Amino acid sequence: MSTKVLLAVVGPTAIGKTALGIRLAQHFDTEILSADSRQFFKEMQIGTAVPSKDELEAAPHHFIQHKSITEPFSVGDFEKEALSLLDELFQEKEIVVMVGGSGLYVDAVINGLDEFPEVDPEIRANLNQQLESEGVKSLQNELKQKDPDYYKTVDLENPHRLIRALEICRASNRPYSSFLNRPKPERPFKSLYIGVDAPRQTIYDRINARVDLMMEAGLLQEAQKLYPYRNLNALQTVGYKELFEYIEGQCTLEAAISEIKKNTRRFAKRQLTWLRKNEAISWVPHDAEPKSVLQMVTDRLKTNLYAQ
């Protein structure tokens, strides 16, 4: 009996993961799961760089713009739905491709999530209100006090992560970190990580060019439509927050665009920091010949997976 395999294409933003994922899906006659937490929401198209119409038609995609920003959709929800879909796809497919820059979401599908206690929605609402009225610094200070261990490792500029940790701290009266790294369930499939990389300056240049293209495509108009929903979790993200500040008259459009580029570069740096910790990733250059990448993946499947 052959082994079912999930091919996870990972890497920093704007590196070319979508193109590689499509090539792999076409080569192996399979489908793609998006694990990009910013592309789940149908109201956010330009600012999340969802695959184009041609790309979506080139291979079947799942989890692209399938939720509304008004619907809660957590990493736990994604894990459950992704595993259910994989069960279906693996009935017919030997290989399925997963593409995404959201490391936590990729790892949730492959390794499982730590189990946490239930949280009263009011706690989360209070924390979101605290973020709105007092800023991210107040969340950082509270986390430093309640869970100094997690404070040292978390992305302190990511309010989603801070709020998630603090809501567990408040709900359980225990540090968030005390729930981490417990034994994970085994998956009924094997996984192979393919990482796409480039020199840092190349990544930054690609990010800057992508932001310019987004602005030309109407990102400001998209942000203006979404402005009434600016306090929703889904919109606490790079590309929108900066334009909301421009809409509110806090900065010039030029300054907002510059901040989007800077914050996206920082985001890419954090993505790479996360990914570098994963020794299971096989890295390929962003400009590698498609044929050589496909050959490498095929070889890895034979030697590291099917031989087991």
- pLDDT of 1 strictly over 70: no
Q: What is the spatial order of strands in the sheet that 32-34 belongs to?
A: 61-62, 32-34, 95-99, 5-10, 190-197, 282-285
Q: Is 273 annotated as a binding residue?
A: no
Q: Is 16 annotated as a binding residue?
A: yes
> Residue length, the chain?
308
The 10s digit of each residue's pLDDT in 233-272 is: 889 899 999 999 999 999 999 999 999 999 999 999 989 9
Average pLDDT over residues 268-284: 90
Q: Is 14 annotated as a binding residue?
A: yes
Between helices 103-111 and 253-276, what is the axis angle to 10°?
30
Give the model's confidence band at 191: pLDDT under 50 very low, under 70 low, under 90 confident, else very high: very high
Give the model's confidence band at 305: pLDDT under 50 very low, under 70 low, under 90 confident, else very high: low
Q: What is the reported pLDDT for 207?
A: 97
The 10s digit of each residue's pLDDT in 34-77 is: 999 999 999 999 999 999 999 999 999 999 999 999 998 888 89
Q: Is 13 annotated as a binding residue?
A: yes
**Residue 8 phi, psi (nearest 5):** -100, 110
Apex CA 93: angle with CA 91 and CA 98, to 5°? 110
Q: Is 159 annotated as a binding residue?
A: no
Q: In this structure, how many other beta carbons lie within 10 angstroms of the beta carbon of residue 173?
A: 8
The 10s digit of each residue's pLDDT in 192-244 is: 999 999 999 999 999 999 999 999 999 999 999 999 999 888 898 999 999 99
The 10s digit of each residue's pLDDT in 143-184 is: 999 999 999 988 888 888 899 999 999 999 999 998 887 777
Q: Is 95 annotated as a binding residue?
A: no
Q: In this structure, how many other beta carbons lie within 10 angstroms of the beta carbon of residue 276?
A: 12
Provide the H-helix boundaries in the chain. 17-27, 53-58, 75-89, 103-111, 121-134, 136-146, 148-153, 159-172, 200-217, 219-226, 241-247, 253-276, 290-300
For 115, 123, 169, 225, the CA distances from 147, given in Å and listed in that order, are 17, 17, 8, 38
- pLDDT of 2 strictly over 60: no
Percent over 90 (pLDDT), the chain: 76
Q: Is 15 annotated as a binding residue?
A: yes
* Domains defined for the chain, CATH in brackets: 5-114+183-306 (3.40.50.300), 121-179 (1.10.20.140)
Q: Are 108 and 75 spatial neighbours (Cβ–Cβ below 8 Å)?
A: yes
Q: What is the reported pLDDT for 285?
A: 96
The per-residue pLDDT of the chain, averaged, comes to 92
- pLDDT of 307 strictly over 50: no
